[in-house]
Amino acid sequence: MSEFQRSRPALRLVQGTASEAVEWAWFCGHCAAPAPTDEAPAPTARVCRSCGLGLLLETRRDILPTDRDAFLVIDHAMLVQAVSRRAQTLLAVAEEKAINRPVAELVVPADAEAQSGTGFAAAIASAASGSEEPASAIVRPWNTFGVRMRARIAPCGPPRAALVVLQAPRERRLRAVD
């Protein structure tokens, strides 16, 4: 059992959310393909069978991304560890160029003057360091003004990191139906 999984029950107890059990599921950090089963994959079987590139990660089922989602995986040092294909298009950056770069070089808070500017970073830091509660922030690509995206932030791992799922305004309208 990994460090990530071992720490979960304790966190639930502290937060007093045991009554509303959070469901978890596995997905590929590269292509978002779901794991074959809900069982934790063996440490030697963490490489995604669909793309052969990504590592299977666990996250809250209510934020689980699909292959149509733009998402990033950010570690506790605020460095990018994975970028989905859709996010590479949205942010105009290739994954290999994005890996190990600070997230602030790709995505920044949309209204630096309206928010403190720390909301997005704080939510990532919180998720990457153990908080199970999902958070959201309004962000924009670092090089584009006038584009506002909703970022949903939740823990994923192992190793423990923050999953950031971006929703472009157009997608938000479509999804408002469901």
Regarding 60 and contact with Zn ion (CB under 5 A), the answer is no
CA distance 64 to 66: 7
The region of 8-16, 53-61, 68-76, 166-174 touching Zn ion under the rule CB under 5 A is: 53-61
Regarding 48 and contact with Zn ion (CB under 5 A), the answer is yes
By beta-carbon proximity to Zn ion, the closer residue of 46 and 76 is: 46
State which H helix or E strand residue 128 sits in: helix 119-128
The region of 48-56, 71-79, 109-117, 167-175 touching Zn ion under the rule CB under 5 A is: 48-56
Regarding 54 and contact with Zn ion (CB under 5 A), the answer is yes
Regarding 51 and contact with Zn ion (CB under 5 A), the answer is yes
* Mode of pairing for the β-strands spanning 135-141 and 149-157: antiparallel
11, 33, 78, 108: residue in contact with Zn ion (rule CB under 5 A): 33
Residue 86 CA, chain-centre distance (Å), reads: 13
The region of 26-34, 56-64, 115-123, 131-139 touching Zn ion under the rule CB under 5 A is: 26-34
Burial of 20: CB neighbours in 10 Å, binned 0-12, 13-18, 19+? exposed
Q: Quick one: which of 176, 74, 165 has its CA closest to 121?
A: 74
By beta-carbon proximity to Zn ion, the closer residue of 2 and 50 is: 50
CA distance 97 to 157: 22
Tell which phi-psi region holds residue 52, choosing left (phi > 0), alpha (psi between -120 and 50) or beta: left
The region of 14-22, 46-54, 61-69, 144-152 touching Zn ion under the rule CB under 5 A is: 46-54
Regarding 28 and contact with Zn ion (CB under 5 A), the answer is yes
Minimum distance between the CB of residue 59 and Zn ion, rounded to whole angstroms? 14
Regarding 50 and contact with Zn ion (CB under 5 A), the answer is yes
Secondary structure string (H, E, C) spanning 26-53: EEECCCCCECCCCCCCCHHHCECCCCCC
Instruction: Please list every residue from 98 through 127 that binds Zn ion, using CB under 5 A.
Output: none
By CB under 5 A, name the binding residues for Zn ion.
28, 30-31, 33, 48, 50-51, 54
